Each structure stands twice: as C-alpha cells, then as structure tokens.
Amino acid sequence: MELTFWTYEGPPHVGAIRIANAMRGVHLLLHSPQGDTYADLLFTMIERDRKRPPVTYTTFQARDLGSDTAELVTDTLKSTVERFRPSVLLVGDSCTAELIQDQPGTLATGAGLDVPIIPLEMLAYSRKENWGASETFYSLVRGLLNRRAPEPGWTRPPRPEGQRPKVNLLGASSLGFRCRDDVIEVRKLLESIGVEVGVVAPLGASPQDLLRLPEADANVCLYPEVAETTCAWLQRTFKQPTISTVPIGVGATGDFLQEVTETLGLTGCELTADAVCRLPWYSRSVDSTYLTGKRVFIFADATHALAAARMAREEMGFEVVGLGTYSREQARAVRKAAKDYGLEALITDNYLEVEKAVADLQPELVLGTQMERHIAKKLGIGCAVISTPAHVQDYPARYSPQMGFEGANVIFDTWVHPLVMGLEEHLLTMFREDFEFNDDKVPSHLAAVGGSSHRPAEAPAADGDAAIRWEADAEKELKKIPFFVRGKARRNTEKYATERGVAAINVETLYEAKAHFSR
C-alpha cells in the first residue's frame, strides 16, 4: 500500500478514455463498477466538452458479483454496438474488473460483433494514466495497420520529385496540456516551411485517418508520454523516421525546425518566425534584468519539465535549483538533463516528497502542476502551471499554446506574472515597514487574490538544526531580507553555522554566510 494524498496521474483506463474521447468513431467499453463514471466529468467539466465521452461502462454492483458478470459484459457489448455503431470498439477493464478477471476483451472478440475489436490490457495496479493512453494509442494503431505492414527488409521509396513533404503529428489527446492550441501552432510552423501536415492523431482523428498514417514521410512525436511507443512501431514497421524534438521554447523550436529540415531533406528553408516571437526581446529588455538568477523549481511530466528547464536557464536567465518528474517512463532523460544543471533529478509520484523538496530548496518560483500550486500556496511561493495534472483554468478559452513561437510568448507572460514586479521588489527591500506594501501582502499587481495577509509563516528550520540558536538581533536582521530569498538565507546561514560549529547565530554570522555563499 502506498499512502496517497494527491495523485499525479489517474489509473490507466483514464488514459484509454483520453484516446477514445480525442478521436471520432471510436467507442470504449469499460468493464467497471458503479461510480467509475466519475471520469466523464474530467471531459465534460474540466475540458468542457459538449458531448459525453464515447464510453459505455458496465457499472456492475455487488449483487451482480453473485451472478454472471461476464454475461453483463456480453449484453452491454451488444447494446453498445447497436446504439453507437462505432468504426472501432476498444474493450478494457478498470482496476476492480481486473480483479474479477472476466476478460472482456476476449469475450468481445468471440461475441461475433460486426465491428473491429481492440482489446486493452490496462495493468491498473502497476501502471498509470499516461501509460494507459500510450498503450491504447499503440494498440489501436497497431491493430489497424498490422495487416498492412510491408515485408521485413522493405525500404521506403524516396519522396517523388515535386511532391510536398508530409508529416503526421502524433500524441495530442483529450485532457493533454494545451494540446488544442499546440497542434494549431505546430501546423502553422510546419506550413511556413512548406511541410504539409498529414494525420493529426489521436486528437480529431478517425480510425480511417489512422489507416493513412504510413503515407507521411515522417512522424512528429509531439507528446512522447502518449506517442513514443507508436512512433517507434511506425518507424520499425513503415520505416518512417521520428522527429523527436519537442518544440517548446525558442531554442527548442529552432532545433525542431532544424530536425524537420534534416529529416525531410529540405533545402533552402528560411527558418524565419523570429519576427513573431517576442520572448527573445522581452527577455533581453532591461525590465527583465531582475529575473537573472531567480531560483526556480520545476516538477512536471517529463516533456514539459525538460522544456521548462531549458527555457528557464537559456531563455529567461533563471537558476534551476530543482528538476523532477512523475513520468517514470521518461526518467532517464530527466536524470541526464538534471545532471547537466548540476542537480539530482527528483523522480517520484509521491506528492509529499515533492513538497519536502520545495520546502528544503526555498525557490523563488515553482513551475509545476496543479499539485505544486497547492505546495506553493502553502509555502507562499509564486507558481505557474506548466503541465498536467491541471484544472479547469488551464483549459482556457483564449489561444494559449505552449509550443512554437507563440507558445514562447505565452510562457514568458505566464512565468513572469506570479513574481513581484521589479520596482515593487526594490521598494520592498528598501522600506520594510510600509503599512500597505509589505512582506505579509501579496504582490500588489495580484491584488485580486485578496490583498490581505496571505503569506504563511516562514518554513521551519531544517531537521536537526534544533541546536542552533538565533540571537534576537540576527533574527531581526534576517527579517530585513526580502521574503522570497529569506528562506534561502536562513538555511544558508544555519548550514554555515553548523559546518563551523557555531552555536548561536548573530548578525556577523549572517553576513559571513552571505559572503561565503554569494553568487
């Protein structure tokens, strides 16, 4: 058993629903107990879909367990196919159904239904939502295209002269982070360099569209969490190269265009679009100088965490003090990136561990998920959401991609917003006793948040430091340090004192430590 206050991912069958709901003509039959239909509201409320997700649940109850739950599956299969007439029927178990082992996939295959059946293995007790989405997408693509696979040893003929290069965009799904607008932005980007977009899947695709996947010259793996397995299979089977740079950030978008150009053998492509991206100039303008070295903690799915770390360091001038992910499947890439930043990656799906890391590091900004918003609020640190799990406010009405050049514009605004603005930061440091603008108040440009005392008590001293005593004047001096770096100053001073065996910290120790750790 694992004690879980908040979970970063749902169970794998929620991933399966994300694929079915993203597509057209696909229906999912889920063998599950009464109550599991809660998942519908993720789509109808958080994503604000106009239609019910294409899912039929068997919703068995205790009284059904006494009789034949397999018969319930068979009856539901028939009525579902009759009512919804899908092009493809996915059939899977939720966690409870996995325990009673009715094998609904096998039942469906043997039920003589005149619709293609794709059975799903969901492994609810060892895997999670993104894996479920990836596995469902892969099963669907493989199930539909397996029979069309060319002989081993087949090589893809070169693109005919004069034919425009074409790529598929894979990975965008329901409930993905800003998928709706990312697809628009990436399509725009590709078209600007003369590359056609073939199939976008799973978002908006039908099973018939999936049959056209092999026609493209390459696959763009936009969201590795969902599409990496599928891209690898298409590469092996249909010899379609995978374009794997995720275009989040100015640098990454440049690299992405470079990879597209090289993969497709394009020449003479103008990698323009600098004109539409304001991030580089905004970030260079003097108003952004105070952002230099802001200490930022990043925790998200692997794709967004990696992209954010690069942007934070190279495009915003922040210092990345913590980097982690809950995507174990992509842990290796995050570990490697963290090492490049001189950090140890935090690979966990335990909310309490993330909370502890943030409290220990005392960053000035947290870039994370909905869960890190809880942590940041508790610790009184500015926060921006960069990845799922996300709530309704992160499925906005306005155009808000993360990818491409407009995505970089959106990200600049989003990340800077929670920080205290430059002038206010200076004034807070110079005049500490203002009755309106002080540490206890939220930054005044966020006044709508309430404006009243909001910042909680400072994080307590680290474990084992109980022996260290702060003299009153040193404590008072510490209070003069602006709140967003105060936690760090306290920790550094205590560390300095511990290392030197100083039992009581005075004003001198505080400034000695400051000089020692000055960056």
Residue 458 burial (C-beta neighbours within 10 Å; 0-12, 13-18, 19+): middle
Question: Given the complex with another protein, which of 126 and 452 has the nearer CB atom?
Answer: 126
> Cβ of residue 177: shortest distance to another protein, in angstroms?
16
Is the separation of the CB atoms in 124 and 94 below 8 Å? yes
Report d(CA 513, CA 510) in Å as an integer: 5
Rounded to the nearest 10 degrees, how much is the dihedral formed by the CA atoms of 207, 208, 209, 214? 100
Strands (E), 51-138: 55-57, 88-93, 117-119
Report d(CA 243, CA 170) in Å as an integer: 10
Q: How far, in Å, are 53, 155, 176, 217, 231 from residue 183 at the CA level?
A: 21, 30, 11, 18, 17
Question: Given the complex with another protein, which of 20 and 42 has the nearer CB atom?
Answer: 42
Question: Given the complex with another protein, which of 13 and 310 has the nearer CB atom?
Answer: 13
Binding residues for substrate: 422-423
> Cβ of residue 5: shortest distance to another protein, in angstroms?
5
Q: Which of 168, 167, 180, 250 is nearest to 210 (CA)?
A: 168
Token representation of residue 293 = 């070295």
End-to-end CA distance of the chain: 44
- Region class of 139: left (phi > 0), else alpha (psi between -120 and 50), else beta: alpha
Token representation of residue 402 = 């993360």
> Cβ of residue 348: shortest distance to another protein, in angstroms?
14
Binding residues: 36, 422-423
Residue 485 burial (C-beta neighbours within 10 Å; 0-12, 13-18, 19+): middle
> Cβ of residue 60: shortest distance to another protein, in angstroms?
7
> Cβ of residue 56: shortest distance to another protein, in angstroms?
6
Question: Given the complex with another protein, which of 4 and 285 has the nearer CB atom?
Answer: 4
What single DSSP character describes residue 502?
-
> Cβ of residue 43: shortest distance to another protein, in angstroms?
8
Is the separation of the CB atoms in 301 and 225 below 8 Å? yes
Residue 313 burial (C-beta neighbours within 10 Å; 0-12, 13-18, 19+): middle
Question: Given the complex with another protein, which of 47 and 181 has the nearer CB atom?
Answer: 47
Active site residues: 287
Question: Given the complex with another protein, which of 196 and 349 has the nearer CB atom?
Answer: 349
- Kindly give the pairing relationship between strand 382-385 and strand 365-368: parallel
> Cβ of residue 449: shortest distance to another protein, in angstroms?
12
Residues at the interface with another protein (CB under 8 A): 1-7, 9-11, 13-14, 33-42, 44-45, 48-53, 56-62, 64-65, 75-76, 79, 83, 94-96, 99-100, 124-126, 128, 373-374, 377-378, 391-392
Binding residues for [4Fe-4S] cluster: 36
Phi, psi (degrees; rounded to nearest 5) at 518? -60, 140
Strands (E), 58-189: 88-93, 117-119, 166-172
Question: Given the complex with another protein, which of 14 and 145 has the nearer CB atom?
Answer: 14
Neighbouring C-beta atoms of residue 286, cutoff 10 Å: 7
